[in-house]
Amino acid sequence: MDNLDIMKREKVLEILKKYNSQDSDFIHFLESEAVMRELAKKIELKDEEVNYWAIIGLIHDIDWGLTKNDVQTHLKKAPEILKKEGFSEEFIETVISHGYGCEEIPHLRDKKRTKRIEHALAASETITGLIHAYALMRGKKIEDMDYKGLKKKFKDKSFAAKVNREIIKECEKVGLSLDDFFKISIEGIKKIKNQVGLE
Ligand SMILES: [Fe+2]
């Protein structure tokens, strides 16, 4: 287990700010954290694990600020950074797993996710893109967003076309139906709506 200090939210935000500066990226980090936290609660993990899942969500793209102009290198710098900051091998591996199977990242293309937390992270960080785009389409409103509307957008492949629907479906490997995952994810992001420019 990672030492407790490193698992504190303020500490993690501090680390993120060392390598990332764009507000829009922080929106994605915060939304991923919120979905992971909500998901961990809904599957009734213990408080300590809920925090662990949330922190993984928050920091999963730690090297994005350094690699986004050359996506092929995304998650290449992350292990080194996270190790230096004191995270465990297991934590680091989970972070990196959200890039497994990704065509644009050659060094991770042939790897496969196997653990529940890995599927949870991949599905959670991916659904944030769909929900945020849908909220913007609705005039930034998430408060009254219904999962059925989100489901329609999920099925409409031309909407937020870059959002990989197959990865969102990995929620089933966490033991959740797509409908339940839509509900949980909306619920999670609603709780932080003011921090991510939504209403
Ligand atoms: Fe991400």
pLDDT in tens, 154-177: 999 999 999 999 999 999 999 999
Q: What is the mean pLDDT of the chain?
A: 96
pLDDT in tens, 69-128: 999 999 999 999 999 999 999 999 999 999 999 999 999 999 999 999 999 999 999 999
Distance 60 CA to ligand 1 centre (A): 6
pLDDT in tens, 10-39: 999 999 999 999 999 999 999 999 999 999
| pLDDT of res. 117 | 98
| pLDDT of res. 148 | 98
Q: How confident is the model at residue 6 (pLDDT cuts 50, 70, 90)?
A: confident
Distance 48 CA to ligand 1 centre (A): 23
Distance 128 CA to ligand 1 centre (A): 9
In the chain the first and final C-alpha atoms are separated, in Å, by: 37
Q: How many angstroms separate the Cα of 28 from the Cα of each of 22, 44, 140, 161?
A: 10, 24, 15, 17
Please, which residues have CB within 8 angstroms of residue 182's CB and are 6 or more apart in sequence?
A: 127, 147, 150, 151, 154
Distance 45 CA to ligand 1 centre (A): 23
| pLDDT of res. 131 | 98
Residue 5 has pLDDT above 80, yes or no: no
Distance 61 CA to ligand 1 centre (A): 5
Question: Could you tell me which CATH number the domain at 5-193 has?
Answer: 1.10.3210
Predicted model pTM: 0.96
- Residue 108's nearest CA partner among 61, 73, 84, 57 is 73
Distance 87 CA to ligand 1 centre (A): 18
Distance 10 CA to ligand 1 centre (A): 19
Rounded to a whole number of angstroms, the CA Rg of the chain reads 16
pLDDT in tens, 37-58: 999 999 999 999 999 999 999 9
Distance 123 CA to ligand 1 centre (A): 10
> Tokens in use for 169?
């479906």
Distance 83 CA to ligand 1 centre (A): 19
Residue 2 has pLDDT above 80, yes or no: no
| pLDDT of res. 7 | 84
Q: How confident is the model at residue 4 (pLDDT cuts 50, 70, 90)?
A: low
Q: State the angle between helix axes of 89-96 and 47-59 in degrees (0 to 180), rounded to the nearest 10.
A: 50
